[in-house]
């Protein structure tokens, strides 16, 4: 029985490696980004905290503006919930769409633009259950956290891509 399990595990691992799957590792950012300041978002907001932790987890020191080599500016952070559909039977809300967006830019201490301003966004929709309002509210909170985490991932990928295009 254990031989069968080991064989199945080996086959599964072989299939995953054969298709190119690999665990998401850290982002490789240049030494010029070693000391980074974050501007435009509160460091105590959920997005600010998650971004700071993720940058630090990737070897970046998040510092005050005066000590920074580069400044990451986040502007126009926007979170909206929009009515997506209404039930034909009851006329009540059936679905919502969540939209989370932020503008991103990066410059060095001298003001040279390293990454021009560009929008990042996340969209999610969910079914609103009139019979389980508390559960639906919890689902929205969890979706918002997931969207923040995904935006942070997008920010890191943009930073990484900016180093490849510059040289």
In a domain, 149, yes or no: yes
Q: Strand pairing partners for 118? A: 104
CATH, residue 90: 3.30.160.150
Query: Mind listing the pLDDT tens digit for each residue in 39-64?
Result: 999 888 999 999 999 999 999 999 99
Share of the chain above pLDDT 90, in %: 51
In a domain, 5, yes or no: no
**Per residue in 152-161, is it b (16+ CB within 10 Å) or e — as a string?**
bbebbebbbe
Highest mean pLDDT among 60-74, 80-94, 115-129, 152-166: 60-74
Q: Write the Ramachandran bin of 130: left for phi over 0, alpha for psi from -120 to 50, otherwise beta.
A: alpha
């Amino acid at each position: 029985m254990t031989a069968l399990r080991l064989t199945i595990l080996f086959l599964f691992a072989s299939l995953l490696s054969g298709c190119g799957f690999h665990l998401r590792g850290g982002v490789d950012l240049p030494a010029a980004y070693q000391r980074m300041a974050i501007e435009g978002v509160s460091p105590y907001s959920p997005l600010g905290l998650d971004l700071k932790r993720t940058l630090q987890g990737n070897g970046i020191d998040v510092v005050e503006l005066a000590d920074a080599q580069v400044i990451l500016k986040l502007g126009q952070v926007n979170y909206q919930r929009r009515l997506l559909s209404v039930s034909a039977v009851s006329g009540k809300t059936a679905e919502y769409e969540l939209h989370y967006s932020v503008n991103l830019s990066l410059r060095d201490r001298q003001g040279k633009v390293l990454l021009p301003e560009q929008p990042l966004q996340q969209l999610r929709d969910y079914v609103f259950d009139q019979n389980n309002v508390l559960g639906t509210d919890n689902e929205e909170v969890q979706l918002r956290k997931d969207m923040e985490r995904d935006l942070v991932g997008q920010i890191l990928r943009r930073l990484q891509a900016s180093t490849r295009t510059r040289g």
